[in-house]
Amino acid sequence: MRLSRFHLHTTKETPADAELVSHKLMLRAGMIRKLAAGLYTWSPLGLRVLRKVEAVVREEMDRAGAVELQLPTIQPRELWEETGRWEQFGGQLLKIKDRKEAEYCYSPTAEEAITDFARQELSSYRQLPVNFYQVHTKFRDEIRPRFGVMRAREFLMKDAYSFHTSDADLAREYENMKAAYTRVFTRLGLEFRAVQADSGAIGGDASQEFHVLAESGEDALAFSTGSDYAANVEAAQAAEPAPRAAAGEALRKIDTPTQKTCEEVAALMGIPLQRTVKSVAVMGSDGFVLALVRGDHMVNEIKLGKVAGLADYRPATEAEIAQHLGSEPGFLGPVAPRQAIRIVADREVAAMADFVVGANEAGFHIAGVNWGRDLPEPDVVADIRNVVAGDRAADGGAIRLARGIEVGHVFQLGRKYSEAMGFTVLDETGKAAVPAMGCYGIGVSRIVAAAIEQNHDEAGIVWPVPMAPWAVAVCVINPKKDAAVDAAAEALLDELRAAGIEAVLDDRGLRPGAMFADIELIGIPHRVVVSERGLAAGTFEYRARTAGEAEALDRTRLLERLRGA
């Protein structure tokens, strides 16, 4: 490929409405162009990268035994009515009327359409298991489309749906898909984590997300240094705390005239924040509850909501607090409340001794508090906090935090769709059985943006080789001036092609500075410069995208270097 015949169009300006680095760089590199809100044209350069991702996804799905098909993007309302999702899906579902006033939607996902296909095609257990996938355009009418292709309305998604005669077989295919996804993201050269989504069951395998790690990621993730354990912060759990120590201090009242937060109290007393306990007053279905977490921890609302009676809890009002504890906020605590209250203690708090809490009296805290001695044991002990960096993980490792961009999701759907749509097959005994179903998505176009979030520097994109539009750029200084230079560049291109290395010839005739800036901006991993001067010395100038310095290499060493790349 010659850049002079390829439509490359980079710009120096960064559009004002682009916030994310990937959005800015994709626009500057000319990979995408906005047509309307959340609708992007993929330029020749952008499409090359998109197709590389698509090809890897397809290869690994095929290798995993899934079979590709293609469903229409426009799907009839009747189908979506069968599962109730015509209404439930909400505003993201783009609804359409055709010329005959029949109603359709633009597929945002395809559980209904594939189940309709399956109930027409599959009638016997002998045809199961089967995993159908497609790589096709989807549409979600985002209320606030932004971040370029990271949160576009029209996007490219790989969606797969499997059908099984048993839950055990579904679980097997679910693992098979997780392995395939791991191969996909590994092959693409991305740093990623498979994390447990908040699907309810602790350690359950019913749903897992794949995240590309990047500081700009929307999701906070926790993972362990000791194993593959990773979870969304909302779902992550630390190890059980060490057993409670014996009481060592006497209960005493501390004068804290203006100190209301744990930080302020700890600073005043000169003790670690970890010695203090935060009291959070809430109202559940059975009334007033005081939730306790360590001074350096935060209540996790999802976890707290799982405690019996707190499914729909709300913060207590000042009046409710005064009524139950006899104090104003800032000095609350579990010791000697005005009325009997229910106490939900985080596991860490339940394991503490000699701790500090509010005295339920304005201007005072109490220290040296011990369970059993100064107040009753907690009514409930549960994990109700967010993990923090440094927590011990259940596997013995340390918990680290990171931010991620969700690019894949695997689900065990069970029989939700097959049951709603009346899909059965005959089992071994000749009886109608409702197949179990799994679904598995990858955001193909989103991966392109996520990869840039993870891999860029001041000069532009730094593609992992498997996603790069070309692995090597052969840059000609002053093309069409010295025939020997042009010939050397062509010969090098031929040799690279023969070695199976994808290269592009930059024969546009730009000045070296502008040419190199373009090649760096669009993130080509390897740059080779062919010049009159280099040719005279028998060398090519080589520079890796991530290396600071260029080196002069003769042809043999250059080819060795590129082959190893």
**Sites of contact with a copy of itself (CB under 8 A):** 5-7, 9, 30, 33, 35-37, 39-44, 46-47, 50, 65, 67-76, 79, 91, 94, 96, 98-99, 102, 104, 106, 113, 116-117, 120-121, 127, 130, 132, 136-137, 139, 141, 143, 153-154
Rounded Cα distance, 518 and 304, in Å: 52
Q: How far apart are CA 98 and CA 103, in angstroms?
A: 7
Distances (CA, A) of 530 to 533, 535, 543: 9, 7, 12
User: Residue 337, preceding bond cis, omega within 30 degrees?
Assistant: no
* Of 68 and 296, CB closest to a copy of itself: 68
Residue with Cβ nearer a copy of itself (103 or 354): 103
Nearer to a copy of itself, 91 or 422 (CB): 91
DSSP 95-139: EEE-TT--EEEE-SS-HHHHHHHHHHH--BGGG-SEEEEEEEEEE
Quick check: 384 and 346 in contact, CB under 8 A?
yes
One-letter amino acid at 203 equals G
Task: Look up residue 30 and give its two tokens.
Answer: 């000319």
Nearest to 44 by CA among 24, 66, 29: 29
Q: How far is the CB of 153 from a copy of itself (least distance, A)?
A: 7
70 Cα distance to chain centroid: 26
Q: How far is the CB of 131 from a copy of itself (least distance, A)?
A: 9
In the bound complex, what is the minimum distance in angstroms from residue 450's beta carbon to a copy of itself? 19
Q: How far is the CB of 268 from a copy of itself (least distance, A)?
A: 52
**Minimum CB separation from a copy of itself for residue 495, in Å?**
22
Nearest to 231 by CA among 199, 196, 200: 196
Give kind and range of the element (H or E) at residue 410. Answer: strand 399-414
C-beta closer to a copy of itself: residue 176 or 276: 176
Residue 173 has phi, psi (to 5 degrees) of -70, -35
**Nearest residue to 466 (alpha-carbon basis) of 278, 146, 107, 185:** 185
Mode of pairing for the β-strands spanning 32-36 and 39-42: antiparallel
**Are the beta carbons of 175 and 129 closer than 8 angstroms?**
no
Q: Which of 6, 364 has the CB closer to a copy of itself?
A: 6
In angstroms, give the least distance from the CB of 145 to a copy of itself: 10
CB of 529 to a copy of itself, least distance (A): 23
Is 211:471 a contact under the CB 8 Å cutoff? no
User: Minimum Å distance from CB 144 to a copy of itself?
Assistant: 10
Inter-residue contact 194 to 208 (CB < 8 Å): yes
CB of 43 or CB of 478, closer to a copy of itself: 43
Q: Which two tokens mark 261?
A: 């937060």
Question: Residue 111 CB, nearest distance to a copy of itself (Å)?
Answer: 14
What number of other Cβ atoms are within 10 A of residue 379's Cβ? 15
- 363 and 256 in contact (C-beta within 8 Å)? yes
- Pairing assessment for the beta strands 364-369 and 425-426 based on DSSP bridges: unpaired
Q: Which is nearer to a copy of itself, 41 or 225 (CB)?
A: 41
What distance, in Å, lies between the first and last C-alpha atoms of the chain? 20
Q: Give the burial string for 193-221 (b: 16+ CB within 10 Å, else e).
A: bbbbbebeeeeeebbbbbbbbbebbebeb
Q: Which is nearer to a copy of itself, 46 or 217 (CB)?
A: 46
The β-bridge relationship of strands 192-196 and 342-346 is unpaired
- The length of the chain is 565
The token duo for 256 is 């804290």
Record the tokens describing residue 469, joined without a space: 């539009």
Q: How far is the CB of 531 from a copy of itself (least distance, A)?
A: 23
Q: Is the Cβ of residue 98 or residue 457 nearer to a copy of itself in the bound state?
A: 98
Beta carbon of residue 476, minimum distance to a copy of itself (angstroms, whole number): 18
Q: Which is nearer to a copy of itself, 47 or 273 (CB)?
A: 47
Q: Which is nearer to a copy of itself, 130 or 322 (CB)?
A: 130
Instruction: Give whichever of 98 and 428 is closer to a copy of itself, judged by the CB atom.
Output: 98
Min dist. Cβ of residue 41 to a copy of itself (A): 5
Between 70 and 323, name the residue whose CB sits nearer to a copy of itself: 70
To the nearest whole angstrom, how small is the minimum distance from the Cβ of residue 63 to a copy of itself? 12
